[in-house]
A and B are shown apart, each in its own frame.
Chain A
Amino acid sequence: MTDNRKILILNELDNIAVCLVNMEVGEVIRQDALNLTIQNRIPRGHKVATKAIAKDDGIIKYGERMGHATSDIKIGEHVHTHNVLGDRLSTEQVNMEQKN
């Protein structure tokens, strides 16, 4: 049994972790080898950057690439639709691109 954890790291290759509780700005997470300060309010179940991620870098979850950053992301920042896009476009997105 371990102490109650606030974030869940799914794979050591990952540059994000999943928040297990709602996070407030300025909260400090010290868990395993991590030491990070939360930069935005992050709801439970959402992702936080555990490494600095440059624009266009892959977002790695479960040790696999799930998309890429659309802007630079700092450690402790909320990682979601505002700064991430899937590599694989949805049919809707493909249709829109074809129209443009």
Chain B
Amino acid sequence: MSKQLTAFARADERWGLRNHVLILPLHSALSATARKIADESDGAVAVSHDWSGEVDGDFDRIIKTFSGFAANPNNYATVFITIGTPGELLIIDLAKKLGINKAEVLNVAELGSMSKIAGAGLKIANSLVKEAKAQSRISAPWSAIALGQECGGSDALSGITANPALGVASDRLVELGAASVLGETTEILGAEHLLAARAITPEIGAQIIETVARYERSINYEGIDMRGAQPSRGNIEGGLTTLEEKSLGAAKKAGSAQFSGVLEYADQVPKSGLYFMDTPGHDTEQLTGFAAGGINVVVFTTGRGTPTGSAIMPTIKLATNTTMASAIPDLIDLNAGTIADGIKTLAEVGGELFDLILAVANGQITKAERGLHHEFSLSRMYNTVIK
């Protein structure tokens, strides 16, 4: 099979693996209208959310999330639907600074009724979809791929089948010049010193340690002791012996490449190398942060068959066990359970996954995309304050 990557060229050497027209409401009350526009259009996508412009402790994090999500290179264009608050204007401004390919703004205050917004939105959406369909993929370098690593609904096999198979594919992509990102700070707790030893500089290693320590301080503050609870009785029965072992299993998604840097939630991902992003363990919050960071394809390892996907990032589901993969074939793109069945080797499944990532990057539709799993979730760290 061809190993040639093709993608949609954007400004600043950014590349889209999809050519979406995103309808993005910037106030919770506009979510229904955004969805209506997308549903009635010739292929635009929309997300819903619950932010109503609150200026509180999470304001910067939310502004960063929306602007990055809108500017993700998988979007040919983003149609912002706004009521005209300063926060909304800040989001649009930041998205432009991040190199958004095409931005359109519909303002409720100017257009008046929701039906006028819906009518104008549909017209713009369809015209943008037509433009997007006319754009062709061209030959792209490996740095066009920014891969996100995610695990959800883990089981006793995650650390020995799907996660290390993803590690094999990630290592190969990083070696070729792509970017790959490990997230979920909760999941590396207890193995951070081992990951820090793989950092390209001692400073980056210290940042990995500090990111986990900061997270640990925040949960200690809430009175939760993660360390004492891990590995759990169920983990030990499943064969996991130490905390390091459990976290190494989760971190195996990142293979054995060196870490080139640590990113805050929704930071823009550099073009090449392996990175760690400080994201929450919550699947949808983490995926939304990845998308806001410019990640354009995700591999999601799962033991239970979590259906979660994204409106703009193709999300490949890699099963950890054959029983689940056979039970829900409409959700699973590839089964790594064959490693535990003794049928295939890690290297073989890692190679199959690499080929699948390339095929999906080139346009092959994932099960999550076919199923319209367009989940979106804002990550909050403080109480919401209405001012």
Contact = CB atoms under 8 A, between A and B. Distances in A.
Interface of A: 1-6, 8, 10, 18-21, 43-47, 59, 61-67, 79-81, 84-88, 90-92
A46 B239 contact: yes
Interface stretch (B77-85, B240-248, B292-300, B372-380): B240-248
Contact of B343 (A4, A10, A61): A4
Given A2-B345, A8-B160, A20-B341, A81 B241 contact: yes
A8 B339 contact: yes
B103 interface: no
B252 interface: yes
Contacts of B256: 63
Contacts of A63: 256
Contact of B342 (A4, A80, A84, A87): A4
Interface string B136-151: 0000000000000000
B230 interface: yes
Interface of B: 156-157, 160, 164, 190-191, 193-194, 225, 227-228, 230, 236, 238-239, 241-245, 248-249, 252, 256, 339-346, 348
- Grouping DSSP codes into helix (H, G, I), strand (E, B) and loop, the A interface class, with mixed when no group exceeds half, is loop
B322 to A, nearest CB: 12
A87 B244 contact: yes
Contact of B225 (A1, A19, A81, A92): A92
A19 B241 CA distance: 14
Most chain A CB atoms below 10 A, which of B193, B341, B342: B342
Contacts of B348: 1-2
Given A90-B230, A91-B225, A84 B242 contact: yes
A10 B164 contact: yes
Nearest to A83: B241
Given A4-B342, A4-B343, A92-B228, A45 B241 contact: no
A88 B244 contact: yes
A61 B342 CA distance: 18
Contacts of A2: 342-345, 348
A91 B343 contact: no
Most chain A CB atoms below 10 A, which of B191, B227, B228, B241: B241
19 contacts: A1-B343, A2-B343, A4-B343, A8-B339, A8-B342, A8-B346, A19-B239, A20-B341, A47-B241, A62-B249, A65-B244, A66-B244, A81-B241, A87-B242, A87-B244, A88-B190, A88-B193, A91-B227, A92-B227
Contacts of B228: 90-92
A86 B339 contact: no
B239 A47 contact: yes
Contacts of B238: 45
